Structure 1
Amino acid sequence: MRLLFLIILLNFTLNAKTFIDMYNREVEVTNNNKIVCLGPGTLRLITYMQLEKKLVGIEKKELRFSPNSAYSLVLDKKFIKSLPIVGQGGPGKMPNLETLINLKPDIIFTSILSPKQVALIQEKTKTPVIALSYGSNYSGKNNKEDKIEAVKKSLLLISKIMDKQNRANELISFMNKQKEALKKVKIDDKAVYVGGVAYKGVHGITSTESDYPAFKLLNIKNPILQNHIGHAFVNKETLLSFNPEVIFLDSVSKKIILEEIEKDKAIYKHIKAFKNNNIYWLYPSNFYNTNIENIYINSWLIASYFGKNIDIKKVKKRVYEKFLGEDIKTNVH
């Protein structure tokens, strides 16, 4: 009996592989057949990697199937709804540890859980926990790391653990080609602003982001936040003083924004962008973390608003098919 136990233990040890997660933790993984995703954006990356069928549990927040998060629309609803709920979900929200223990997943992937939370979940469940990252302000070992670069590293990490290197290489190659193509687009030098950016919920016009990814790919600055990294709220007086010529608004917050414009039209009518009707809607940037595919679609959409000859319908189809396997019928208007 003891010999059999030693043989099983030896086999278990030989099959184990060690990976470095995005918190720079060494995590030993033996099997990769059953997974659970915890925290904002984790299931999105797993869906990009075409691994959602390996799920054995789901957060309640992932049952919304909203057009604000395109990845949720390609999930098998019947399968997802059949999975046990492992917790409410949300930034920094702990799962139900007892449920996780009973489910016995091989791996738990996380995002926007603190290093202490990640370590605690691993300790209590005796399951390898892999921290992923969306870069600056979205967890990870380097809080100043570019969002897209952090996501690429997370995709590569997932691919090594789950034996899906070809899929990660395909996605990263596409992202790199998009970056190079957008770098060649020349945008008029105008005072621009992006508002209505969601961050742990939807917000009005004064919610913005200094390193807004769709701007960054086009080398557009958000000068209203020169000395700030990541998300921020600006006051209306600052926005009025900045007086942008062009304003881009995130459609995820459309209802709140339209109510705000109606309520404060006496203020907004003095801003050049409103005076000249240079107000443009973008696809949702953040909804339970960042919609990476929409970063690229929004960059091309912004370029088209600046007069570039771009077929947005074709761009959207190509991007969605690459990330999600099919075109998604969404609209910003």
Structure 2
Amino acid sequence: MKKKLSMLLAIMIFVISILTGCTQTKELVNVEGDVVNDSSNPIEITDMAGRNVVLEGPIDRVVAIGSALRVYTYVNGTEKLVGIEKGQQSAKTGRPYIIANPELEKLPLVGEGFPANPDPELLMNVNADVIIAGDILDVNQIEELQKKIGVPIVVISYGSSAVFDQDMYNALTIIGKVVGKEVRSKELIEYMEGCKTELTNLTKDISEDKKPSIYIGGLSYKGVHGIESTSGNSPVLNVIGAKNVVDDVGKSGSVMIDKEQLIKWDPDILIIDENGLNLVKEDYQKNPDYYNALSAVKNGKVYGQLPYVSYYNNIETAMADIYFLGKILYPNEFKDIDVIEKADEIYAFMLGKPLYNIMAEKYGGYVQINLE
């Protein structure tokens, strides 16, 4: 009898110790493998400004300002968002992350949006647990704003590239940790890297003498521009090893060329970013001889690409554009790629909805262009 009581007592102690151990576990994990934050599980983050930020859980109310909102929607849709900047509120802008999430328009306003500074009073009104700020204020301004509103601010950054940037991956990782969606963040990074690998593999064996030259005009940069607005050392073209005539200038990023330089370069293929297409067509009507002197125009090698620059870079559209550009430049290598299907795959994975037709209706889509 004593042996039975001793065994029963031992079993009870063992069970109690297991239950006690469970209640003391610091990290709770959901069925998807994400860490669930609660009041006993503070989140410690080193943000992309090098600041150490401690968030006391649970994180249920989030505001994302500047470029952070777009990245946030990739990770967590509109879940937990409680405010939006006026500059990001309208789906009429053609920004995929807004089109995919029309409920964003109904959120309370927290400010005008970049380039205006955040509104402390409006931010306090929404009672956020955390603010995620992207590419909008310097560190001193962030610290001042945080003290003023009493809400922790986590800083992220896009990086300098329109696509496949390590800074972008870091931003996704940080947001995933803040909102308990680390598995989703990892999936996004793996998907983007998979696209990069596919594009690189499709084009890595093409010899330079088999590559047509290309120029992309009409690119947006702090506004809409005509044919003279382009990009040097373009990440969109570099990933497919394209022969970008603008690289002769030796500059990276936005470049405004003298229009006569385009005549000298005379690229084989001319791409017009459809944000600037109307300006290019207006210019054509004023000076058709200029455009008709270009080989690409003479040979019917003028195409439109979906605009990816609108309130910072729309990463998913830039990725879709690369597949389209690859198909135009290297039709044999991309013969098995349906660029419209690929665009919808990218939109669906990044934002949850196939958006190509909506974007094409707004801008024109992946089509051959007649400037007349």
Give the paired residue count. 311
1:305 matched to 2:328: yes
SS at match of 2:143: helix
In structure 2, the residue corresponding to 1:27 is in which secondary structure? strand
- Residue 193 of structure 1 contacts residue 246 of structure 1 at CA under 8 Å; is this kept in 2? yes
Change (3 A) 1:242 1:167: same
Which one has the largest radius of gyration? Answer: 2
Alignment correspondent of 1:50: 76
1:180 partner amino acid: T
Partner of 1:170: 187
CA 1:128–1:263 in 2, change beyond 3 Å: closer, same or farther? farther
Q: Which runs of 5+ in 2 are unaligned?
A: 1-37, 368-372
Q: Is the 8 A contact 1:148 1:292 kept in 2?
A: no
Q: Residue in 2 aligned with 1:323?
A: 350
1:15-30 correspondence to structure 2 within 5 Å: 15-30=41-56
CA shift for structure 1 position 298: 0.9
1:237-258 Cα distance to aligned partner (Å, 9 max, x none) = 2222222121111112222222
Identity %: 28
Give the equivalent residue in structure 2 for 1:106: 129
Task: Quote the offset at 1:173 in angstroms.
Answer: 1.0
Work out the CA distance in 1 between the residues paired with 2:286 and 2:80.
Answer: 48
- Evaluate the alpha carbon distance shift between residue 263 and residue 134 of structure 1 in structure 2; reply closer, same or farther with a 3 A threshold: farther
CA contact (8 A) 1:68 1:252 kept: no
Pair 1:150 & 2:167 matched:
yes
Corresponding residue for residue 194 of structure 1: 216
1:135 paired to 2:159:
yes
Q: Quickly say closer, same or farther: Cα 1:278–1:227, change in 2 above 3 A.
A: same
Instruction: Identify the match of residue 237 of structure 1 among 248, 251, 260.
Output: 260
**Equivalent in the alignment of 1:274:** 297
How far did residue 15 of structure 1 move? 4.2
Retained in 1: the 8 A contact 2:245–2:267?
A: no
- Alignment CA distance shift 1:285-1:169 (3 Å): same
C-alpha distance in 1 between matches for 2:136 and 2:89: 20
TM-score of the two chains, using structure 2 as the length reference: 0.77
State the partner residue of 1:89.
Answer: 113
Tell me, yes or no, if structure 1 residue 179 matches structure 2 residue 196. Answer: yes
Corresponding letter in the other structure for 1:189: K
Q: How far is the alpha carbon of 1:212 from its aligned partner?
A: 2.6
What residue number does 1:215 align with? 237
Residue 175 of structure 1, CA deviation: 0.7
Q: In structure 2, do the counterparts of structure 1 residues 195 and 118 end up closer, same or farther at CA, with 3 Å as the change threshold? A: farther
1:205 counterpart SS class: coil
Q: For structure 1, list consecutive stretches of 5 or more residues without a partner in the other structure.
A: 1-11, 139-145
TM-score, normalised relative to structure 1: 0.86
User: In structure 2, what is the Cα distance between the partners aligned to 1:55 and 1:13?
Assistant: 19
Q: For residues 266-312 of structure 1, what are the alpha-carbon distances to aligned partners after superposition, in whole Å with 9 as ceiling and x for unaligned?
A: 32222222222211111111111111111221111112213231212
Deviations 1:103-140 (A, max 9, x none): 221111122213133233222212221222121289xx
What stretches of structure 1 move > 6 A for 4+ residues in a row? none
2:276 aligns to what? 253
SS at match of 1:119: helix
CA contact (8 A) 2:213 2:268 kept: yes
Match of 1:63 in 2: 89
Do the aligned residues in 2 keep the contact of 1:249 with 1:282 (CA within 8 Å)? yes
Tell me the distance in 1 between the aligned counterparts of 2:161 and 2:317: 19
* Contact 2:164–2:192 (CA under 8 A) maintained in structure 1: no
Specify the code of the residue in structure 2 equivalent to 1:326.
K
Cα deviation, residue 47, structure 1: 0.8
Query: What amino acid sits opposite 2:81 in the alignment?
Result: L
CA shift, 1:14, in A, is 6.2
Please state how far the C-alpha of 1:181 moved relative to its aligned partner: 0.7
Confirm or deny: 8 A CA contact 1:196 1:204 kept in the other structure: yes
